[in-house]
Amino acid sequence: MKAVRLHGVGDLRYHTEPEPNPEEGSELIKITAVGICGSDLHWLEDAGIGDAELNKPLILGHESAGVIETGPRRGERVAIDPCIPCGNCPYCLEGNPNFCPYQSFAGHSAQDGTMCEKIAWPLKNLFCLPDSLSDEDGAMLEPLGVAIHATRLAELEPGIRVGVFGCGPIGLLIVQLVRLTNPAQIIVTDKLPHRLDAAKDFGATDGFQAERGQEVEAVVAATGGEGVHIAFEAAYENEAVITAVEAVRPGSHVILVGIPDDDRTSFPASTARRKGLTIKLCRRMKHTYPRAIQLVESGKIDVRSIVSHRYPLDQFQKAFDVAVQREGLKVVLNP
């Protein structure tokens, strides 16, 4: 089979490898769609992410869908949950597998991901796709799951003002989920005008171009001077964290979704303390695939319009170049 492996900073290579052999409880999956995530770009540009470092050539990719090729569910189109928790630790038993310290995650550390033609993956992590969802829709269920988890953390209520700082794919999905709660306003910021336009198409009421924090004044003014009730940071840049803290009203929640390049997040402590803010960090997702499928199947969430570029696997370098330049929204590889 063909696979794309990361060997070092900026060093992606196309390999021919043996097909994997499924272990007990797993099946062989033919990958049909895999999205390039911001975390994949971290791996590409830094040969690591957070405190995880590249120790051996790694197949990236964790937003994926495919077709089961073995076992009783052979031929079934599925979305692939990339997280394999241990199932036995206190966090798993409490229903929080995203906190499992023993988990494996596709395309992370020692666990190869899905930028390849085939993988072996646990059957319990495979979710059947209805006919109305394409394979690319299935790959988009993973970022949608992160957005669902982030909005759960925010404890959203109808009639409030919400800020989304960063309008990449996850930010755009957060905008759509917030819209379903009947907010008074959805205010967005981003450095790229085409992403602001996309956010407005998905339901944002106000949008401002991010300019080193200068947009805070405009955001607050748009709320009548009070600030937003809930802020989501989804830009992967610390400037957006500071903007979120500055733009919320006292007593608010700030949800940090992005992963910073240097594994550090900072904000003005005096501002956050004076406002009495509750700051929550979004750790991947948990138990979101059934809900994500229902939201897309019902038409309440549009994931298909977020996919802007598609490439075959052997054009991986072009695909990553487009993703690094943020030319569109979501780049998908079709092995």
Looking at the domain assignment, is residue 316 inside a domain?
yes
pLDDT tier for residue 263 given thresholds of 50, 70 and 90: confident
User: Does 258 lie in the same domain as 176?
Assistant: yes
User: Does 239 lie in the same domain as 154?
Assistant: yes
User: Does 151 lie in the same domain as 119?
Assistant: no
Range name among 81-85, 181-185, 238-242, 261-265 with the lowest pLDDT average:
261-265
Looking at the domain assignment, is residue 296 inside a domain?
no
Looking at the domain assignment, is residue 292 inside a domain?
no
pLDDT for 312 equals 98
User: Does 274 lie in the same domain as 169?
Assistant: yes
Mean pLDDT of 97-118: 97
pLDDT at 261 over 90: no
Looking at the domain assignment, is residue 149 inside a domain?
yes
User: Does 156 lie in the same domain as 85?
Assistant: no
User: CATH no. for residue 313?
Assistant: 3.90.180.10
Looking at the domain assignment, is residue 294 inside a domain?
no
User: Does 202 lie in the same domain as 135?
Assistant: no
Mean pLDDT of 88-107: 97
Q: Give the residues across from 11 on adjacent strands.
A: 8
User: Does 135 lie in the same domain as 158?
Assistant: no
pLDDT at 302 over 90: yes
Q: What are phi and psi of 183, to 5 degrees?
A: -75, 160
Contact 150, 174 (CB under 8 A): yes
How many domains in the chain?
2
Interacting residues of 66 by C-beta distance below 8 A, sequence separation 6+ = 29, 30, 31, 32, 33, 77, 78, 80, 114, 119, 135
pLDDT for 142 equals 98
User: Does 107 lie in the same domain as 37?
Assistant: yes
User: Does 10 lie in the same domain as 129?
Assistant: yes
Q: Quote the domain boundaries for residue 310.
A: 2-140+303-334
Looking at the domain assignment, is residue 179 inside a domain?
yes
Mean pLDDT of 231-254: 96
pLDDT for 213 equals 84
Q: Tell me the pLDDT tens digit for each residue of 210-229.
A: 998 899 999 999 999 999 99
Query: CA–CA separation, 301 vs 143, rounded Å?
Result: 12
User: Does 95 lie in the same domain as 17?
Assistant: yes
pLDDT at 39 over 90: yes
- The residue written with tokens 């755009």 in the block is 172
pLDDT at 138 over 90: yes
Q: Between the CA of residue 108 and those of 4, 46, 135, 276, what are the distances in Å? A: 14, 13, 22, 35
Q: Give the residues across from 63 on adjacent strands.
A: 35
pLDDT for 240 equals 95
Looking at the domain assignment, is residue 229 inside a domain?
yes
pLDDT for 78 equals 98
pTM confidence score:
0.97
Query: CA–CA separation, 129 vs 116, rounded Å?
Result: 20
pLDDT for 262 equals 83
Token output for 25: 């409880």
Token output for 52: 């995880």
User: Does 104 lie in the same domain as 37?
Assistant: yes
Looking at the domain assignment, is residue 267 inside a domain?
yes
Q: Tell me the pLDDT tens digit for each residue of 75-89.
A: 999 999 999 999 999
Which one-letter amino acid corresponds to residue 14? Y
pLDDT at 236 over 90: no
User: CATH no. for residue 153?
Assistant: 3.40.50.720
pLDDT at 117 over 90: yes
User: Does 224 lie in the same domain as 118?
Assistant: no
pLDDT tier for residue 315 given thresholds of 50, 70 and 90: very high
